[in-house]
Each structure stands twice: as structure tokens, then as C-alpha cells.
A = this chain, B = another copy of it.
Amino acid sequence: MENFTKTKLNDYKDEIQPILEKFLSEKVQEYGELYPFAKLFLEHLAEFTLRGGKRLRPALMYYSYMMFEDEDLDEVKKVSIYLELIQSFLLIHDDIMDRSLLRREGDTMHKIFEAYSLQENFQDDVHFGNTMGILNGDLACLLAYEIINSSKLSTEKKSALSFLVSKEITKVIFGQIQDIILAYKEDYSKEEILGVHHYKTAIYTFKLPVFSGAMLANASKDKLKILEDYAINCGIAYQIRDDILGVFGDDKTIGKGTVSDIIEDKKTLLVLHAYSKANRSQKKILDYSLGNKDITHEQVVEFKKVLEQTGALDYSIKECEKYVKEAKESLRGLSVKKNEGFDFLDSVVDYLSTRKY
């Protein structure tokens, strides 16, 4: 099953990569002539967007559409790249807020422009980097709406999709806000963490893509309800897995340092559970490690051990599986026109709990 998902994802990525490349290079042409820096600015957005990612979100949109409709598949494929621009928008801004250095095995956007500032002997390189990061993210957001509204979809569908994006990404913004506020809280609950998983991850990684496809295919309200259950459960499972990989994953395969979650003192089910079960010496290790910018390799190893010894790792794996099971069951009641789309959504669920990046 896992290989099925990977193959489907890779195939879809191969198909939309040229579409994405074409769109971005057209933008470089369209605005790059304005002045030299405009060209550079766009080329970095293009490189960042093309650099990586599994293209899970566009694939989910496409296959969700395909479940209910077999006309206009090519146009939906073309439009599905808008989700990668939304992704760039959110990642670029998030990385500024989290002060992240690495993304998709490369520099984050604000770091790219910080380096540019250094090279050009501008002053105040961090501020310049952040400034260009803000603008680059803003641009990505505007381009996402442009992709939708310049497509050949009916005007009804274009407007409905634009509306969906506004409503759902608004919720994602609130998820991000809550994520940041939680970082400042000493006490936080499982419900608060799951709330962030729901708003921040599940809506933008699953609900928006799945609804984008299903709505364009005129899926009924009942079907959308089922798909919402599916999407939210998938999203929560995805984030729990992400937090596990954020500590136990392999640096190279996940494309950003695995220490960053520890340094950022990220509020996860893993850490919450570890604290609730830790003895005094284990608590000390947790306290010392979380938020520690100078943590050594040995200390990371010790930190991981505490997560294992307290049962936090097992607990998180089981929680992830619980949501995976829920997602799987949600899908059962769904009647579709075409099995190919359904099989992809179904297989994605299994992939969630086993993925290594």
C-alpha cells in the first residue's frame, strides 16, 4: 500500500512539475524585466517552490476531484498547483516566525535574502532578510489566487474556490497564532495541541486540498461531511507523525534539522506525555534540552531516550494510529464514481503512519 501511494505521488509530481515550472518562469518573464532585483526575487520564489515537497496537496485535490468527475481533469491538474503557492506562502512566513534556517534541504527564504544583504554590504541583514521574506510570501499568496482566477474553470468554480481558500487559510492563520501562543505557555493540554494540529495542519494539508477537488466536482454536502472527517483525522495523524519524525527522523530525508523541534521547544503530544510520566531526573533532561540552542549531539541522544523510556514515543505512535483508523473508517461510507481517486485517498491513510519523511 505504501508503495502504491509513493508511486502515485511521484507520478503526479512528474506531471505537475512542468506546469509549475512553466507558470513560475512566465512570472519571471512578466515581472523580471522591471529591474534586476525583481528578477532575482522571483527566481528565488521559483527555486524555493520547485525545490521540494511531495506535492501531496495538489495530488489530494486531483484525486478528490477524480472520485466524482471525469471531465476537465487536465484543467483541474493545472489549477492544483495553486496549493504549492499557498504552501510557499505559509512556509516562507512561518520560517521567519520560527527563525528556521533550513527548509527542503536548503536555506529558508529569509536566510537567502539575509545572505544577499551580507554580500551587498547592506546593513541590518536579519531585518532585510525578514523584509524580503514577508514580501516573497505575500507574492506567493497573490499568485495562488491568480492561478485559480486565470484558469479555464467556470467563473462559478473559480469564485467558489477563491472563497474556499480565503475561509480555510484564515483558519490556518488562527492555528499558527495558537501554535505561537502555546510556545509561551507553561501549562498546556492535549486538547490545545490537537486544536493546533486541526487548524494548522489538517485544514491546509488535507481539508483544503480535498475540498478543492470535491467542490469543483460538485460533491454533495453529505459527501463533503465524510471528506471533512477523513481530512481532519488524516491531518492530525500526519502532524503527530511529523512531530515524531521531528525528533526521531533522519535529517537528510526530512529536509530540515531534527534538532529544530527541540531547540524551538515545540509543544507536541510527545513532549506533553513525556512530562506527565517522567521521574525527576528525566524531567531534568527534558527541561535542560527543550529550548536549548547549544544542545550537543550526546544530549539529543539522551533526550530521545527519555521520550522512549517514558513511553511517550509509543504513546504518540498509538495516537497516530488511532487517527489513521478513524480516517480509514470515515472513508467507508463514501460512494464514488471512480475508484482510482478513492484508492489514492484510502492509501494515503496507510502511508501516513509509516512515512519516513
Contacts and interface: CB of A to CB of B under 8 A. Distances in A.
Interface of A: 31, 34-35, 37-38, 41, 89, 93, 96-97, 99, 120, 122, 127-128, 130-132, 134-135, 137-139, 141-143, 145-146, 148-150, 154-156, 158-160, 162-163, 165-167, 169-171, 173-174, 176-178, 180-181, 184, 195, 199
A223 to B, nearest CB: 22
Contacts of A38: 174, 177-178
Each complex incorporates copies of this chain amounting to 2
B135 A138 contact: no
Given A37-B178, A138-B138, 10 more contacts: A35-B178, A37-B181, A89-B138, A135-B176, A135-B177, A154-B155, A155-B155, A155-B158, A155-B160, A159-B159
A120 B185 CA distance: 11
Question: Mostly helix, strand, loop or mixed at chain A's interface?
Answer: helix
Nearest to A133: B134
A163 B180 contact: no
Given A31-B174, A141-B138, A158 B166 contact: no
20 contacts: A34-B178, A35-B178, A35-B195, A97-B134, A99-B127, A135-B173, A142-B165, A142-B170, A142-B173, A143-B166, A145-B145, A149-B163, A149-B166, A154-B155, A155-B156, A155-B158, A155-B159, A158-B159, A158-B162, A162-B162
Question: Which of A135, A159, A176 has the most B CB atoms < 10 Å from its CB?
Answer: A159
Given A38-B178, A143-B170, A149 B162 contact: yes
A144 to B, nearest CB: 8
A141 B166 CA distance: 9
Contacts of A127: 99
A305 to B, nearest CB: 29
Contacts of A150: 163
A163 B156 CA distance: 14
Nearest to A156: B155
Contacts of A174: 31, 34, 38, 41
A108 to B, nearest CB: 14
A180 B35 CA distance: 13
A135 B90 CA distance: 10
A93 B138 contact: yes
Contact of A41 (B97, B141, B177): B177
Nearest to A147: B166
A352 to B, nearest CB: 26
Contact of A37 (B134, B170, B177): B177
B159 A149 contact: yes
B145 A166 contact: yes
A142 B166 contact: yes
Contacts of A154: 155
B165 A145 contact: yes
A170 to B, nearest CB: 5
Nearest to A145: B166
